Each structure stands twice: as structure tokens, then as C-alpha cells.
Amino acid sequence: MATEILARRKMRISRSGLTGLVIVIFFFLLAVAVWAGWAGQNWSAADGERWASPGSTWWFGTNQLGQDIFERAVYSVRTAFEIGIVVSLLSTALGAALGAVAGWRSNTLADGTVLWLAGVLDSIPFYLFVAAVAFALQGLPWAMHVAMIATFWTATARLARAEVMKIKSREFVLSARAIGLPSWLILMRHVLPNTLHILLIQASISFVAAIKTEVILSFLGLGVQDGVSWGLMLAESTQEVLAGHFNNFLAASIMLFLLLLGFNLLSDALQDSFDPKQAAL
Amino acid sequence: MPWFLRKLSHGGLLILGVTFISFSLMVWFGPDQTYTLIGKNATTEQIAEVREQLGYNQSFVVRYGHYLADLFTFNLGASNSSGESVNRILQKTIPVTLALMLPGFILGNLLGIALALLATGKKDQWTDRLITGFSVTGMSISFLVVIIFLQVLLCTPYGLNLFPVRGWQVSGLASYLYYVTVPTLSLIFITVGYNTRFFRAVFVEEAGKDHIRTARAYGASTMTILWRHVLKNSLVPIITRFMYTIPLVVISGSLLIESYFGIPGIGKATFDAVTSGDQPVLKAVVGLTAVAFIVIQLFTDFIYKLVDPRIA
Amino acid sequence: MTCWGKLNPVIPFTAKLLTLCLAAIALLAVTACDDRSSAEPGADHSYRIYRHAMDGAPSSLDPAQASNIYANFLAVNLYDTLYRYKYLARPYQVEPNLADGLPQVSSDGLIYTIGIKPGVHFIDDDAFPNGQGRALRAEDFVYSIKRQFDPKTRAQGTWLWQGRIVGLDEWKENGSDYQQDIPGLKALDDRTLQIQLVAPFPQLVHTLAQGYSAIVPREAVEHYGQEFAIHPVGSGPFKLQRFNSAGAVLLRNPGFRQEPFSLEAEGFDPALHGSYGLDALEGLAPPFTDRIELEFIAEDASRWNAFLAGELDFVKVPVSQFDQVLQRRDPPTLEATLAEKYHLLANLESGFVHTDFNMSDSKIGEHPDPLQNVRNRALRCAIIKAFDWPKRNEVFYYNIGQVFPGIIPPAAPEFDPQQDQSSVKRDLDGARALLAEHGWNPANLPVLEYGFPSSVTERQMFEQFRSFLGDIGYPPEKIRPLTFATYGDYAKAYLNREVMLVTTGWTMDYPDAENTMQLFYGPNASPGSNSANYQNDEFDRLYQSSSSMQSSPLRTTMYRNMNRIVIDDCATISGVSRKLILLWSRNFRMLPDRSFVGGFFFRFVHTGSPGATTVEQVP
């Protein structure tokens, strides 16, 4: 039943979507290499000369401290994936759970509460909220992640809620109810799997948003605390570019751009293939 | 319950929620200003004195109650840092922010609408693909990268060196243009990708509807269809987006632009309040933004109700 | 501002007003700024303007909150202090400002009698009856100091006088009643003050040259309430026209007392100051400038670019530009093209940056077990030996900073240039040997928590520190950042003794090393300014006996002994005094200063002719 609906949505991946996929896989492999300890391990050592030019020793040059920009940029891929994966998975899961409950029990107190909470969170200016959470949880390494999850789930929840409301009046759900299956089982087995396409798209959108937000938060001093990220590199570069040193800026912004582009192309293609008419909402 | 009362109570609940969450986060768990206000070699008693002055020694309920009361009587108090009244800070900074953000906001939306119309008119042709590709590219660039890049390009000897690196010394139209250009370009750059994509989706959906197909079948030109039908019928989502993004763009967007370009608007005031823990200012900004946001929602709902009474 | 003045601040967000704003956007552009044009006396060429950049902004203009250099700069220009520092004399010397001479001190050093110059008036302001500034009286000084001890003021300068003046602390304990008199703080008549001390306090006269001690009129404090902080009403050489977080504009106070400028009295030395064109000022009455435009620009590059673009007359050169600006580092000499347009001064800061070990933390500081105590000291000493000061100086201060051992910075008169430099020499072998000798190895070394407020430079300093320790085999994962989003939160943590390694800068309040000695005085431990929580009986004994002594060779020896004690205990990684490179346009006859003269130099800034083009030798 559920699989049947999914099967009708034939995956037709466009050429640009394929490009996106290749980029994402490339960066993911890079992240794996960093995790495994094959690359980017020397990001912290400050043993080079200051602002060395790119060359055979320092591929992307060095920063003010004499740190290897290439090593730092590569290590940052891992940071980006850690943030992206944690935030997109958890925020999508949270959004799906709350949205499903709200949609299943629409127009009840539970539904109202979820909608109210989403409305409240959406009414607080985003950066202000994220900064405030990061502040309140200061000292916790996960402060930034919590802040993003707390805001990103609302969009997913609204979409999931709408979809669940649509699905629950479908025949296969009604018949499952008729034979007396408990609600949670119907939700888990029949309803949620049919919202997977929405969740997949939302996860890829959250991934992009998480990486972009990390950059801003790190610039504001509320992001990555121990380690290195493109956001921290860009924050460093704000001081350097005006003195004419562009290596940090170029390395971080180009890699950041490529990864975001890959994800955006991929999520575009996903949306197109699942629902060409509703593309880009 | 009548429709309007229901909406109003809904808005009231939202305001309660927003103020509660923002109060808990920004005030109760927020930065502690005591230690920036004490002098050198402060004693424990002096620290206690300052905490008392700031009201930190009161309970959560009391402080939250005061906050709500102050917010609804617009008795916003005075900044802990400068002693300036929050009302005056808002009066001084909000016009700066509007003057700074509105041109970029409006141009970003207009440009987005224009590109989206163009893309819809040439759907699935190379123009459409170019515009879509352009908007995806725009969406993949970080705000921070754009600001740094434009600043280097336009404001430094490494680039064209045409505009000031930062600041806001506006005393007439010429100086206004001098200071507003780079922030405006940054804002357009950032928003146009998202806007184009959003509006294109709206227009494409509208263009697929039956009455448009009918008009097309009767031989109306593409331009006429786009202008007369698609754009006109899409006014509701366009206005909704406008209304909903204003408070967020003004506060969130200006937070970054103003603190980066050193412009004394509401965003910088908020950012300074965040980093110094100046709670009266923070409370006012968050509370008022929430209220404004919810008022706009109510207002929008009300307009819809007028347009289409079926909407509840 | 006019279009918003009457509107409630909430309304701008509503749609109605939005429409209005869209229509009024051009108008907004004009109202959203200062209306400079209306204040400028048009084409009058004798009108002199000086544009000065500061690298930070004061948040308050209330002298009671003049806790940082920026606030102090403004306070001493908008208000009068009894004393100031001589413009040119180095080492710095106290000079009467509002006082009519140096204080008369009783033979036991306890009673100070100070006369006040006649005919001084506050500026005209609505706070006064009829809006006319009234005469300044000795009673105003008494009020201004009392006010600091009123908790409602939230003053930050009370530590200068706390426990020093007879009856002042009791006055506060009794509820800060302004009707009550203080026995040790009296106006004998309108022009005579008397201060009675609890114990001799030779630094008292220096405290009377601080912005904190500036004299405020009670009427204005009461009239403006909390907003007094942005409505200064003083008797200083300038009055405020405009102030916000981006800048301030000061106008000459036309009622400021006319006193002819005397080169000799200010400590003029033709050899040092001859090239600045100051001799033309002899006999003129300051302030020489009609309008001072202050720009608060925290971002280095922005400030520098604004200066190069001709938008500023004075700038503190950002460290990152030293390579481009300086032809030579020692002595700092300008590039030829810049030297044609600008004067240069290398101004040694009156303070230093140091990283303290939290001695109350038993993992790194004092330990009840004597054996462990010795091991901890060895660990601290090894860390100090691993610290690479030349590298720190090169990366963050472009080798312009002055590294020195201990806690008497070079700006202090008691500084000893001949002292043993070994505590700032890197000695990796020595460090490793020390660790090995005391049984430290990568497995049992403690986790170090290095605190800093989150900013790029602070983070880079941390990473450099971690890299230094890596060179003696300290595992990087055992050196952790403890970051804080704001300086206030950082201060809260270290004042509550929660940070293991505390990096702070100290700016001396007056040219006397007592001011840095107290940083390591036991009773000043956190939340006092002894953030190392250092306790050493011998040190404390020396501090107590030296603190009531007038400057003398004996006192200098005592200070140097105290310095030695701190170095021997390896309580702090110290230190470096930054050297500031100041540039100003050759059109100006002036000698800027960021140390003790600080804001007092504004009154002496003079727009001269652009004639002088000789390249000066830097003092």
C-alpha cells in the first residue's frame, strides 16, 4: 500500500540533480576521510610563516597564525557534515513526529498546541532566537545544534501535518482503522512512509540552512567553539581581506559555495521528481 | 465564538508564548550584565548591589510579570548600558534601519518578481533554465560571503574603492546613496535567489490553471497573460510573503548588515544588547517584534477574510 | 527624527505606517541622521574642525561610569577634573586643572586642602533655572564623589576612594543621604575643599585626574535621571552636540576659562617635540578647536580605510597595516609617501596583557599537599618556559610590542630595564626537563581550560598557545577552550574563579606601579582584580608597607622585589605592553596620547597651516 504510492513517484533525476549528487558525494567522501584520520588532521598546528602564498608546501597558503588553510578548509568539511547531519536528521524527525500527531489528531488540543508552538517559534526573529539559545546553553558544545533544531522543525511539522491530514482520509488508512489497528501502528506503518518524500526534501533543505546558519553564528562568536569551520575561517578572513590577504576567504567561501550548491541542486531535483507542479515551494 | 474574537485570542496566546520563550531565553538564561557594570576591585557586596539594581535577585515569575506589564504599557525602561530610554533608542534607530533596509528589500522583491515572470513566460526554455540556475546559485552563497565580497570589491583599494567601508553619516540624498548602496546591493544579492524561486513557483502554478489556459487558447499574448492574469491572480501570495518577511528581514537581516557595516540602526542596537546583556533593550526588541509580527498576521488574515469570506 | 517623534515606537511595523514610510523614504534618509548642516557656521574659514577616530565606543558619558579609555576621553572633555597630566612632560606629571594649585598636604599626609579656580561655570542647560549655567562650587565636588557612593548611581570608580576617606563608606552604609555631611570630605567655602584620609594615600592626587572624579552639577543629575548619561552638563573645554554608538560631536565650550598655553609648564622639549609645530601655540588659550568629530570605529580595516580616504585627521594604525605603513620598526619610521602627509608617534600603552594561572585551582595552582604544590609550580614554570613571546609579539603585535618580565610594565616609572629576562625567554629543553623531573607526562598532565570571550583574535591567541605547548609534548586535546559569548560572561566566570587560565589586559589608572602590584595582592583576590587569586605573605607584607609611601628609591626597590616574587612563583605568563602607532595629519599641531594624558590632549589640538614638511625623528 505504502510502497505502492511511493512506487508511483518514479525517480526521474535531472542532469543538474545528478551534478548535485556528485558534488555531495564528493564532499561526503572528504568528510569520511577526515573522520577516518586520512586528511585535514593538521588543522591546528601554527608552524608556518604568516600569510604564506599558495604553493607546494601550503596548497592554499597560510593564515595569520601560520596555519595551513588547506588543512583547515578540508577539516571544515567534517564540521559542516556533522552539523548538517545532526541538525537535519533531528529537526526533520522532530517535525515529522509533531506534525504527524497534529495532523492525525487535527483540531484537537494536541494539534492546537503544536501549531501554537510552531507559531510562537516562527514569530521570533531567527538570528535573535538562535543567538539566544546559543547563549542560554553556553558552554554546551551542542548549543548551536539545539538552537537550529528548535527552529527548523516547524516548517517540516506544518508540511507533515497537511500531508497526514490528506492521507488519513485515504481508503487504505480507513480500512486499517476499520480492522481496529492502533493509531500509532497505522501512523508508523501506513501514514508516515507516505510522507517520506516531503521529509527527504525537508532534510536536504535543513542541511543547507544548518550550514549557512553555522557560518553566521560562528561569525558572531556563538558557533563552533573547539575546532575549525568555514564560518570561523570567514570570521578570520573579515580581518584579513581588508589588509589584502584573500586565501582564507577564497578557500572557505568556495568550498562552502560548492557544497551548498550541490545540496540545492539535489533538493531541487528531488522536488521536481516528486511533484513537478509544486516545485520550489 | 465570532471569527475576529477567535483570531484575537489566538494572537494573544501567541504573544504570551513568544514573550515567555524569549524572556526565558534572553533574560533568565541570558547574559549577565552585572560583571560589566561593576568597577575594578568590586566587593561581593557591590556585586550584590548591582544585581539588585538590575532586578536580577527577583524571582522568575515576578520578573516575567513585570516584563508583560511593561510591554503592554509601553513602559520599556532605560538601557542598562547608557541609561538612554529604550523608547528614544527605538525612535533613533528604527528610521535608520528602515532607510537602510527598505530599498534593498523592495528592489530584491521587484527583481525577484520580474525574473520569475520572465522565467514563467519562457518556461522550460533556456531563459528559464538560466534564471533558475542563477537563483540556485544565489541561494548557495552565504550572506557573510556576499557582504565580505562586495565590501572588498566596492569599498577597498583592492577593488573599485567607490563607497565607504562602513558607517552612516547621512545628511542628504547624495550621502544617503553613498552609504546605502553597498548594504542594499548585499541585501538584493541575498534575497533575489530565494525570491525568484518562490515567485516562479507561484506563477508557474497560476499559469497552469484552467482560465489561463483558456485565455491562451483564445490567443492572448504571453505578456498580456503574465500581466493581466498571472501577476494579478498571484497578488495574495505576493503580499503575504511581503508582510511576513518584513519583520524578519528588518530585524534578522539588519542584525548582520548593521553590525558589519557599523550602522546605528535597530539591528546593531539589538546586537550590542545581545553581546552586552542589556536586557531592557533586548526585551523591548523581542517583545515588539513579536507583537508586530502577530499584528501583521491578524491583519493579513483579516484582509483575506474580506477578500474571501470562506477562509476561517 | 521629526517624522517619528510623536509616533509610538510599535507602530512603524504596521502596514499602514509601512506605506507611509515607503512614501517618505527620501525624507527618512535625511531625518535618520544628524543635521550637521544646521550647526555648521557655513563658510567661516576660521572654524576649526578636528576629526578623531576611536577604536571603541563609550556606552555612557556619565563620569561615574568612565571605566574605559573611551568613556574617560569624553568625560575629561565634557567635565572638569581637579587635576590633569601635563601635555608633553614624560614621565607623566600631575598638573592643576580646575584646582588652583597642587594640594596642600598636612605633615602626616592625611589632610589635603585644595583650592578651586574662580569664575568657573557649568554650560548653559535646561537643568538650571533660566537655562543658565551656574558657577561651579567646591560643594559640587563633594556631591560628585558622594554620588559615586550612592548605589543608585551604579558607579564604577568607587574602588579609587573606598576605605580611604574618613566617613565616606559610613555615609554609604547609612543610606547615602545627601543631607548628611562626611567628615573627611568637606567644602570649607565655595572655593576650598578639604579631604581627610584614613591612612596616607600618596596616589590620591592621581585619582583626582581620573574621569571618575569629574565634577557634575546636582541639578543636571536630578533633572535628567538615568538619561543624564547621555546629557552631559559640565564645565569642561567642550560640550556635547551629538552622541550615538557610531560617533560623537563635541563643540568648543565658549565659556571655558581662558588660560594661556605655556610650553614650559606643559613640559615642552624642543629636541622631542620641536617638529610638531607646537611652539606657535605659546600664549593662546585652549581649546584651540571649535568642533571635534569623534568616530567610534571598532573594525581596524574600516578605520584605516576611512583615514586613508581623508575622512579622519587622526588614527591608531591597525596592527595588520604595520608592514605597509612602517619603513622601519625600531624606531618606528613612516614610509616616505606617508611621512609627507602625516606625523607619527609610537605610543607605549600604559598597561599590559598577561595570562594568569588561577592559583586557587588545585589542578594548576596552590595545593594543600606540599609535594603536589611543588609539582604544580613546576608545571606552571614549564608552561611559562614553553611560551614563545617573540612569536606572540610577531604575530599579534608585529614585533612592535614590548615584552617584559613580571608585572611592572615599561610605562610605569618603577620599570627596571636591566632586570633578568629569563622569564620571557623560551626554553623548551628546560621546560621538558622540569616536567620530567617532577613526574609529569602526557598521561598525567591535567586538562587546561583556557578562557576567552569569543572573538577571532582571542581564539587565535588560544590556538597559538596550544601550539606552543604542543612543542613540549602537551597533548593538544588536553588544552581546551572555554569560550564566552560576551566579555561580561567571561568576567563573571573568572571573578567566580571558574577559569583556569585567565588572559586579561590591565590599563594603569595612574603612573605608579602600585596600580599593578595590587593585581597580585592577596586581599584583592576575586572578585577583586587579583584574578590569579595569588596569595603570598611576603608579597602582601611588602605591598602593605609600600602602599603608604611616597615615591622613593626604597619604594621602587620594594616594588621590584615584589615583582621578583611573582615571577619566582610562576603565577602568571607576563607580559607584553603594546605599542600604538598613532598617525595624524600634518595640518594639525598636536601630540596625541592614549595613556595618562589621554583625553586631556583634545583641548590642545590646533589646526595649523599645512606648511611643516620636515620628517621628524620619533622620540
CATH number of A128's domain: 1.10.3720.10
In a domain, B83, yes or no: no
The reply to whether A63 falls in a domain is: no
Rounded Cα distance, B78 and C329, in Å: 47
Residues A29, A34: Cα–Cα separation, whole Å: 9
| pLDDT tens digits along A20-48 | 999 999 999 999 999 998 888 888 888 88
Q: Which residues of A touch C484 (CB under 8 A)?
A: 138
Are C159 and C214 a contacting pair, CB within 8 Å? Answer: no
* Coil/strand/helix, residue C243: strand
With 60 as the cut, is the pLDDT of residue C612 above it?
Answer: no
Give rounded-to-5 percent helix, strand, coil for chain A. Answer: 70, 0, 30
Is A26 within 8 Å of chain B by CB?
no
Name the DSSP class of A188.
Answer: I
Q: How far is CA B286 from CA A44, A218, B293, in A?
A: 39, 22, 10
Q: Which of residues 489-548 of C touch A (CB under 8 A)?
A: 489
Give the total number of structural domains in chain B: 1
The rounded Cα B30 to chain-centroid distance in angstroms is 22
What is the pLDDT, as a whole number, of residue C510?
92
> Are A242 and C480 in contact (CB < 8 Å)?
no
What pLDDT, on the 0 to 100 scale, is given for residue B237? 81
Let me know how long chain A is. 281
What is the percent of chain A with per-residue pLDDT over 90, rounded to a whole number? 45
Q: Tell me if chain C has a CB within 8 Å of the CB of A41.
A: no
CA distance B124 to chain C (A): 36
Contact A73, A58 (CB under 8 A): no
Structural domains counted in chain A:
1
Q: Flag whether A143 is in a domain.
A: yes
**Of residues B5, B6, B14, B80, the one with CA closest to residue B290:** B14
Is pLDDT larger for residue C581 or for residue B252? C581
Rounded to the nearest angstrom, the minimum Cα separation between A56 and chain B is: 26
C33/B168 Cβ within 8 A = yes
CB contacts of C162 in chain B (<8 Å) are: 41
For B134, the closest chain A residue by CA position comes to A261
Q: Please tell me whether residue C269 adopts helix, strand or coil conformation.
A: coil
Q: Exposure of C327 by Cβ count < 10 A (0-12 exposed, 13-18 middle, 19+ buried)?
A: exposed
In the predicted structure, residue C24 carries a pLDDT above the cut 90: no
- Residue C247 near residue C296, CB atoms below 8 Å: yes
Which amino acid belongs to residue A42?
Answer: N
Q: Cβ contact (<8 Å) for B255 and A128?
A: yes
Contact A250, A258 (CB under 8 A): no
Q: Check C481 against A225: CB less than 8 A apart.
A: yes
State the average pLDDT over residues C328-352: 90
Mutation pick from B41, B180, B241, B297 vs chain C, by most beta carbons of C within 10 Å, is B41
| Domain membership flag for residue A62 | no
What angle is formed at CA C559 by the lines to CA C554 and CA C560, rounded to 5 degrees?
Answer: 95
Q: Where are the beta strands (DSSP E) in C92-237?
A: 94-96, 104-105, 111-115, 185-189, 192-196
pLDDT of residue C1: 29
Domain encompassing residue A142: 2-40+68-280
**B70, B94, B161, B249: best to mutate for the C interface, most C CBs within 10 A:** B94
- For chain B, give the mean pLDDT: 85
Instruction: Tell me if A239 and C470 make a contact (CB, 8 A cut-off).
Output: no
CB contact under 8 A, B290 and A124: yes
Chain-centre distance of CA A271, in angstroms? 16
Buried b (16+ CB within 10 A) or exposed e, C159-170: bbbbebbbbbbe
Residue B159 lies in a domain: yes
Locate cell 573606598: which residue?
A: C162
Return the residue matching grid coordinates 564560518: A231
Tell me whether residue A261 is in a domain.
yes
CB pair distance less than 8 Å for A261 and B208: no
> Which site among A43, A51, A220, A226 would you substitute to test the C interface, given the most C Cβ atoms closer than 10 Å to its Cβ?
A226
Amino acid symbol at A247: N
Kindly report, residue by residue over C258-304, the tens digit of the pLDDT: 999 999 999 999 999 988 989 989 999 999 999 999 999 887 777 88
What is the rounded distance in angstroms from the CA atom of residue C314 to the CA atom of residue C336? 18
Domain range holding B228?
93-264
| Per-residue pLDDT reduced to its tens digit, A228-276 | 999 999 999 987 887 788 999 999 999 999 999 999 999 888 887 776 4
β C332-334/C606-607 pair status: unpaired
Q: How far apart are CA B89 and CA C126, in angstroms?
A: 21
Instruction: Residue C314: name the closest of C609, C54, C71 by CA.
Output: C54
Pairing type for strands C291-296 and C49-54 reads: parallel
A·C CB contacts under 8 A:
62
Query: Which residues are within 8 A (CB) of C188 and not within 5 positions of it... i.e. 6 or more apart?
Result: C113, C138, C194
Side chain identity, residue C277: G
Contact yes or no for A242 and C301 at CB 8 A: yes
HSE-CB of B113 using CA atoms within 13 angstroms: 17
* Residues of chain C positioned with their CB less than 8 A from the CB of A232: 456, 459
Q: Which CATH number fits domain C351-577: 3.30.43.10, 3.30.420.80, 3.10.105.10, 1.10.1040.10?
A: 3.10.105.10
pLDDT value of position C44: 41
Task: Write the DSSP assignment of A209-270 as a string of letters.
Answer: HHHHHHHHHHHTT-S--SS--HHHHHHHHHHHGGGT--HHHHHHHHHHHHHHHHHHHHHHHH
Contact indicator for A126, B255 with CB cutoff of 8 Å: no
User: Chains that contact C by 3+ CB pairs under 8 Å?
Assistant: A, B
Choose among C165, C156, C171: nearest CA to C75. C156
How far apart, in whole angstroms, are the C-alpha atoms of residue C401 and residue C417?
A: 15
Q: What is the mean pLDDT of residues A1-15?
A: 52
Q: Residues near B183 by Cβ (< 8 Å), separated by ≥ 6?
A: B100, B101, B104, B257, B261, B263
Nearest-CA distance from A87 to chain B in Å? Answer: 18
| Residue B25: inside a domain | no
C-alpha cell at B118: 520572465
| C1 grid coordinates | 527624527
Which of B37, B166, B243 minimises the CB distance to C302? B166
The answer to whether residue C471 neighbours chain A at the CB level (below 8 Å) is: no
Distance CA A267, CA A21 (A): 9
Of the partner residues A45, A138, A243, the one whose CB lies closest to the CB of residue C467? A45
Query: Cβ of B30 and A128 within 8 Å?
Result: no
Q: Give me the phi and psi of A84, to 5 degrees please.
A: -60, -50
Q: A122 with A154: CB under 8 angstroms? A: yes
Neighboring chains of B (3 or more beta-carbon pairs < 8 A):
A, C
* Secondary structure element (H or E) that encloses residue A70, with its range: helix A69-104
Mind listing the pLDDT tens digit for each residue in B257-267?
A: 888 888 888 88
Q: The C-alpha cell of C81 is what?
A: 577634573
| DSSP output for chain B | --HHHHHHHHHHHHHHHHHHHHIIIIIISS---HHHHS-TT--HHHHHHHHHHHTTTS-HHHHHHHHHHHHHTT---B-TTT--BHHHHHHHHHHHHHHHHHHHHHHHHHHHHHHHHHHHHTTTSHHHHHHHHHHHHHHTS-HHHHHHHHHHHHHSTTTT--S-SS-----SHHHHHHHHHHHHHHHHHHHHHHHHHHHHHHHHHHHTSHHHHHHHHTT--HHHIIIIIIIHHTHHHHHHHHHHHHHHIIIIIHHHHHHHHT--SHHHHHHHHHHHT-HHHHHHHHHHHHHHHHHHHHHHHHHHHHH-TT--
Spatial distance between the Cα atoms of B180 and B263, rounded to a whole number of angstroms:
10
Helices and strands (DSSP H and E) totals, chain A? 11, 0
Residue of B nearest to A265 (CA): B136
Interface test mutation site (partner A, options C458, C460, C479, C480, max chain A beta carbons within 10 A): C460
Range in C120-134, C413-427, C456-470, C484-498 with the lowest mean pLDDT: C484-498
Closest chain A residue by Cα to residue B293: A123
- Kindly report the nearest CA distance between residue B17 and chain A, in angstroms: 6
Residue C343: phi and psi, rounded to 5, are -90, 155
Whole-number Å distance between alpha carbons of C570 and C275: 45
Alpha-carbon span C290 to C50, nearest angstrom: 8
pLDDT at res. C231: 94
CA dist., res. C522 & res. C519, Å (int): 9
Question: What rounded mean pLDDT belongs to chain C?
Answer: 88
Contact C306 B165 (CB under 8 A): yes
- 8 A C-beta contact, residue C585 and residue C315: no
**Inter-chain residue contact A221 with C301, CB threshold 8 Å:** no
Q: What is the mean pLDDT of chain A?
A: 86
Q: What number is the ipTM of this complex? A: 0.85
Q: Which helix (H) or strand (E) holds C335?
A: none
Amino acid at position B102, single letter: L
Structure letter (DSSP) for residue C552: -
Instruction: Yes or no: say if A23 and A261 are a contact pair by the CB < 8 Å rule.
Output: yes
Domain membership flag for residue A52: no
CB within 8 Å: C483 and A221: yes
Mean pLDDT computed over A81-97: 96
pLDDT in tens, C135-169: 999 999 999 999 999 988 889 999 999 999 999 99
Query: Which residue on chain B is closest to A264 by alpha carbon?
Result: B136
- Is pLDDT above 90 for C603? yes
Mutate to test the interface with B, among A128, A135, A207, A267 (most CBs of B within 10 A): A128
Does residue C358 have a pLDDT over 50? yes
Contact A133 B25 (CB under 8 A): yes
Put simply, the chain B residues between 15 and 44 with a CB less than 8 A from any chain C CB are 31-44
- pTM reported for the whole predicted model: 0.86
A142 and B CB contact within 8 Å: no
| Side chain identity, residue C127 | A
Within a 10 A sphere around the Cβ of B107, how many other Cβ atoms? 16
Q: Which residues of C443-471 are buried (b: 16+ CB within 10 A; e: fewer)?
A: eebeebbbbbbbebebbbbbbbbbbbbbe
Query: Min CA distance, A45 vs chain C (Å)?
Result: 6
Q: Are C72 and C160 in contact (CB under 8 A)?
A: no
A138 Cβ neighbours under 8 A, 6+ residues apart: C484, C485, C489
Cβ separation B18–A135 shorter than 8 A: no
Supply the pLDDT for residue A157: 94
Neighbours of C131 (CB within 10 A): 9
Peptide bond into C527 cis (omega under 30): yes
